[in-house]
Structure 1
């Protein structure tokens, strides 16, 4: 038997015994069938949830970011660590200097938060706070002493609910030479009371000097 006869015989052996050709599935249909099979819940019982996948993506992004930063920073990972440490120290220094951030009040509150007290009472309270290093309270009480003294001299009408800015504007009409100092004192009061800025010895010294000066200043003659 020749070579051609052997090839025919081998091919015939691969065919089914009934002589029908094998069934073949088109490629697209086979892919769709595989996708439908793999989409069944039985194959996804142990897949990570949506939150876990999101966290994995986040950590991948953070890891990639630090890898790129370490590559771009001189010194690699140690250089990046040094930069992060410097940033942390700068933030800590600002936090220590400025204190806990607070939101500015949209409207200034009343100057006096308690019942009526004399200017001497406010001065005594201010000095006690200053002696204890409580500069915020010292600034507040000294500003109240300034306004109360003007009320006692009838340069201001006693009016509950008056703000520091209103008191400065009204007092400037009778004491025009000190208008700038009065507005600066009101601004210092608002900053420590509503702006979250801590008081300091310099602000208190300026307020005390203004209080002493106004005590010996005669009001301007009305026009």
Structure 2
């Protein structure tokens, strides 16, 4: 890789050029996928810092290679920070999704679907449906109130209070459900067997308090 000749580097970088460069970078699709209110605050912060930086630069070193180096360094830092933030937001958003897409199936129907999937070696589908059978079964028993939009983590937390004997296993099951169904991770026969055993144990336990 060859470095650009000094003649190729702009001699003067103004505040308007810096502002335009920052706005062009922050307008890319990756950044627009973040929460709008957070993106607007981040963009305004970058623009304000650039304005302040170039006011300071012009007071003792007007433009030149130093100004370009500082601009590039600042933009690199901003890009790294924003990308890390977007990644965390995307991951957390991906996991905060509901357990059920269909509110009409019973726990028995989910269990039958899970057994069929497991018999054919489709363990991701088997794990997903067995967890749904577990949660729907607790709704049918009154351990959980039927509530649209409940996430796997919420189901595990709420049912764990009523069934403390399986609370740890419920948290594990919720993590596996999210990782497999929403995270696209593979499932194993051992995970399905463990999920099935948890479903059976939870069904056999009596809640310690009514919900």
What is the root-mean-square deviation of aligned Cα atoms in Å? 1.5
Tell me what 1:136 maps to: 124
Tell me what 1:172 maps to: 160
* Structure 1 residues 104 and 133: alpha-carbon distance in aligned structure 2, compared to 1, 3 A threshold: farther
Q: Is the 8 A contact 1:104 1:196 kept in 2?
A: no
Task: Name the count of aligned residue pairs.
Answer: 120
- 1:56-110 C-alpha deviation (Å, 9 max, x unpaired): xxxxxxxxxxxxxxxxxxxxxxxxxxxxxxxxxxxxxxxxxxxxxxx84624211
Per residue, is there more helix in 1 or in 2? 2
Tell me what 2:69 maps to: none
Tell me what 1:218 maps to: 206
Check if 1:161 corresponds to 2:143: no
Q: Which runs of 4+ in 1 moved over 2 A?
A: 103-108
List gaps (5 residues or longer) in structure 1: 1-102
Report the CA distance between 1:221 and its aligned residue.
Answer: 4.1
List gaps (5 residues or longer) in structure 2: 1-89
Check if 1:106 corresponds to 2:100: no
Distance in 1 (CA, whole Å) between partners of 2:155 and 2:200 is 17
Q: Give 1 or 2 for the bigger CA radius of gyration.
A: 1
**TM-score (norm: length of structure 1):** 0.52
